[in-house]
Every structure is written in C-alpha cells, then in structure tokens.
Chains A and B, each alone.
Chain A
C-alpha cells in the first residue's frame, strides 16, 4: 500500500491507495491536486526510513510515501 500524509492539526491525515486500484489512485490524485493548488502545500516523496526526500509537483501513484507540508513562512 502507498500512503500520503497531510500534516495538520491532528498530527497528520493519512490517505492510502493501492497503485493497482485506479479508483483509489484517482481519489488520492484529486486530494493531492486540491492541496497543491495555489501552492498551499509542499509535496515530498520519501523512501524507506532515512532516505532523503524529493520535492514533487505532480502526484506519483508509485510513491511509497508522500508527505504534504503546509507552505513555510518566516517567523
């Protein structure tokens, strides 16, 4: 299973899809695009424990784990 974690007030909201299931992939893609709209969230593809992340701008159904973090601002 592939997962997308959206960082939020609850810790994170997890979206799971099976890349062989087009319906699940479609639903995850819709969520990804909605959150990426207007650069509200930054998206990273991360591998198994400790791998460096990679910025992505388009949904990757093969990604093992995607993390969506709210856009950063200076404090």
Chain B
C-alpha cells in the first residue's frame, strides 16, 4: 500500500502546528479528520504487476542474493587469510588458547597479562594472576583490517612498546 503525504500548511511548519495547537483537538483527530490542514492522505490501490515486471523483480532479487553471497565469501576468505598470518606467529600454546577461548593471551614487556578478545572495540582485558579482569582497553589499527590482523597488531605492540600502547589506548 502506498501512502502520499502532502503538507498543506504554508505559513507554519508541521511541528509548530502541532505544538502550538490550542484548539483542543488531539493530533490524531487532526490527522484522521483531514480538516486540520496538516496532511492529506491518499491511499493508492495496489496494482497487479505484469509478467515482465515480475520477471524483472525476480532477476533483481536473484542478482542481489548472488552479490551478497559473493561478499560473504570474500569476507570469509579475507578473515581466513588474516587468521593464517596470525597463527603463523603464535607458539603452539598460544594457538591452543586461541582455539579454546577465541582469545589471545599476551604477556607484555613488563610481565602484565592481557587477553585480546575477537571483537572490534574494547577487546583488550588486563588480567590479574587469578584471571580476573582489572582493566579494559580500546585500541585498534587506524585502517580497517580483519579480526586476525587486528589481534596481531595489538599483540605486536603490547610485546614491543607497552608504554605507547597504554598511552594511546582508551581505558574504560
């Protein structure tokens, strides 16, 4: 069903008409009576599509579906590539943790323990010796990269320049 709205009040805006209404009629009354000068509503009868139009619509839907499937496949391929690179620089123990927890445990230069979760924001947890989260940080590469790259960039920086990592990261 298509609805056409036509503003007919030329001297004041719709909001002023509504807000400044002192006539005692409710907004709904004004709308539904069609006499308030705010809007005219016309209901258009649905039209039967021709066979050609239906075929055109079907083809367009099919094209969109294929495009979305192609994008999903691309994303999967890109994520797998980034994960391969990340895994190539991990120890077997780090890889096992990654498989089990979907997170990376990193010991910083000063011996602090951080957990890097697979998430875009606030994914860096500082942990105490008992495994409790004692702080949470948000820091990421300035260019958009897949999750695996995101974690790799965080890991490398924590291990090599912890002070700069903590200076840049937002703590929350």
Binding site for B on A (CB under 8 A): 5, 7-12, 42, 44, 46, 49-55, 65, 67, 69-75
Decide: A70 and B143 in contact? CB cutoff 8 A: yes
Residues on the B chain within 8 Å of A7, using CB: 82, 85, 141, 145, 149, 152-153
Say yes or no: is B160 at the interface (Cβ < 8 Å to chain A).
yes
The 8 A CB mask of B94-114 against A (1 = contact, 0 = none) is: 100000000000000000000
In the complex, which residue of chain B has the Cβ closest to the Cβ of A74? B170
6 A-B pairs with least C-beta separation: A11-B81, A50-B91, A75-B138, A69-B153, A70-B141, A70-B143
Which residues of chain B (136-172) have a CB below 8 Å from chain A? 138-146, 148-149, 152-154, 156-157, 159-161, 165, 168-170
Q: Is the interface of B mostly helix, strand, loop or mixed?
A: helix
Residues on the A chain within 8 Å of B148, using CB: 11
| In the complex, number of A-B residue pairs with CB atoms less than 8 Å apart | 104
9 sample A-B contacts, Cβ–Cβ < 8 Å, listed by A number: A44-B156, A46-B89, A50-B90, A53-B89, A54-B160, A65-B89, A73-B141, A74-B168, A75-B138
Residues of B in contact, count (CB < 8 Å): 39
User: Would A72 and B153 be within 8 Å (CB), given that A49-B88, A49-B89 are in contact?
Assistant: yes
Shortest C-beta distance, A7 to chain B (Å), equals: 4
Shortest C-beta distance, A20 to chain B (Å), equals: 24
Residues on the B chain within 8 Å of A54, using CB: 160
Q: Is the interface of A mostly helix, strand, loop or mixed?
A: strand
Which one of B149, B159, B169 contacts A52 once the chains associate, using CB atoms below 8 Å? Answer: B159
Residues on the A chain within 8 Å of B144, using CB: 9
Which one of B82, B142, B160 contacts A73 once the chains associate, using CB atoms below 8 Å? Answer: B142
CA distance A4 to B152 in the complex (A): 14
Decide: B142 and A12 in contact? CB cutoff 8 A: no
Residues on the B chain within 8 Å of A46, using CB: 89, 156
CA distance A21 to B81 in the complex (A): 27
Which one of A8, A9, A10, A72 contacts B157 once the chains associate, using CB atoms below 8 Å? Answer: A72
